[in-house]
Structure 1
Amino acid sequence: MQNQIKETVQTIKNGGLILYPTDTVWGIGCDASNPEAVKKVYALKQRVDSKALICLVADDRMLKRYIKTVPEAALDIIEISDKPTTIIYDNAQNLAPNLIAEDGTIAIRIPDDDFCYQLTRKFNGAIVSTSANISGQPTAKSFKEIDPVILKGVDYVVNLQREKICDKPSSIIKLSNSGIVKIIRK
């Protein structure tokens, strides 16, 4: 696995796109602070860039690099969640401008997955994590279902967990600094 992480990190640092198993589904990823790499993700997914993407970070310390003020409730939600939970935060910072939503928010998840944790830790930064499908198409439940266009459009494919069936996207909760909590996806 260490060799896979090394190759993946190198691809991300070079501005490339990766295809990797996340804690939820197979994902397309890149350096979340690189606007050109983010642009390539939108192009590959054939998705308008007004629809924001999710990022993965290793832990709450890394999270604080990308959010001006992390609400107390966020850390509680992360701690008690029994399934992958993405939180949409106000006041994103230090990320590619084309990754941040028009209202200044960003969706970030701290994955409970060894590969994703080690990847974000070794990269030492946020990594884009969006489902490995063309926008509007069904999410691939396994590696075998990933569209050939996606496979050809990335620079590196992680060679792990190819038999894993992934059919559960994360829950998404919007948590504003004013204390309003809104469940976007259960």
Structure 2
Amino acid sequence: MDCNTEVYKAFEVIQNGGIILYPTDTVWGIGCDATNEEAVKKIIDLKKLQQNTEMICITNGEKMMYNLFKEIPDVAWQILDLSEKPTTLVLDNPRNIALNLVATDKSLGVRMVKEPFCFKLLERMKKPLVATSANVSGMFAPKSFKEIAPEIINGVDYVVNLHHDKICDKPSTVIKLTNDSQVKIIRK
């Protein structure tokens, strides 16, 4: 399968409120339209999450970031410019997003991606995409497609047919930035 065909198929499922299993710039993920609360609930149920703090969104650029956050600390852009590996920023007071994605402290994890499939899908969606590891809560995050549990594969509406042989063992760095200039490294 080629990337454009998979983008089209994934977009159709997402547009209809479905959830997908897809390769991200880090690990295999489960995703949906990050503005659709019902679709987000499907992921929460599939992963058996107690709360939604394990889920982040991916975007494809500054415009989408500013659509999600009215205020983005200047240091966020410096971190993204200097990062040599994918970096998830946890920022305060997201907007234009499904409420069941927002953490109890009113923050949201977000990562800008360059990976071609994700970038093109986001370009087509014109909205952020949920990106959460393809596992049941509390279980290990799979490093390859073949390690993904059958209940996850069978629980999504579409499995993207790309990179099934790729090893994905590099989760993103996670840094929490608050609007009052506090910086906390959650995962290196």
> What TM-score, normalized by structure 2, do the two folds share?
0.97
* CA displacement at 1:112 relative to structure 2: 2.6
Aligned AA for 2:166? K
CA distance in structure 2 between the partners assigned to 1:172 and 1:59 by the alignment:
18
What residue number does 2:86 align with? 84
Between the two proteins, the alignment pairs up a number of residues equal to: 186
What residue number does 1:173 align with? 175
* CA displacement at 1:73 relative to structure 2: 0.9
CA distance in structure 1 between the partners assigned to 2:165 and 2:11 by the alignment:
23
Q: 1:55 aligns with which of 54, 57, 75?
A: 57
What residue number does 1:27 align with? 29
User: Is contact 1:92–1:104 with CA below 8 Å preserved after alignment?
Assistant: yes
Misfit runs of 4+, over 3 Å: none
What residue number does 1:148 align with? 150
* CA displacement at 1:119 relative to structure 2: 1.0
Query: In the alignment, is residue 75 of structure 1 matched against residue 85 of structure 2?
Result: no
Aligned AA for 2:185? I
* CA displacement at 1:102 relative to structure 2: 1.2
Unaligned runs of 5+ in 2: none
User: Is contact 1:24–1:170 with CA below 8 Å preserved after alignment?
Assistant: yes
What residue number does 2:12 align with? 10
Secondary structure of 1:88's aligned partner: strand
User: Is contact 1:19–1:158 with CA below 8 Å preserved after alignment?
Assistant: yes
CA distance in structure 1 between the partners assigned to 2:142 and 2:52 by the alignment:
23
**RMSD of aligned C-alpha atoms?**
0.8
> Matched residues, percent identical?
49
What residue number does 2:136 align with? 134
User: Is contact 2:59–2:110 with CA below 8 Å preserved after alignment?
Assistant: yes
Aligned AA for 1:3? T
Question: What are the Cα deviations for residues 67-119 of structure 1, in whole angstroms up to 9, with x where unaligned?
Answer: 12011111111111000000000111010000001111100000131111111
Aligned AA for 1:57? T
Unaligned runs of 5+ in 1: none
Query: In the alignment, is residue 114 of structure 1 matched against residue 93 of structure 2?
Result: no
Larger CA deviation: 66-75 vs 142-151: 66-75
User: Is contact 1:84–1:112 with CA below 8 Å preserved after alignment?
Assistant: no
User: Is contact 2:88–2:175 with CA below 8 Å preserved after alignment?
Assistant: yes
User: Is contact 2:60–2:114 with CA below 8 Å preserved after alignment?
Assistant: no
Are residues 13 and 46 of structure 1, via their aligned partners in 2, closer, same or farther at CA, if it must alter by over 3 Å?
A: same
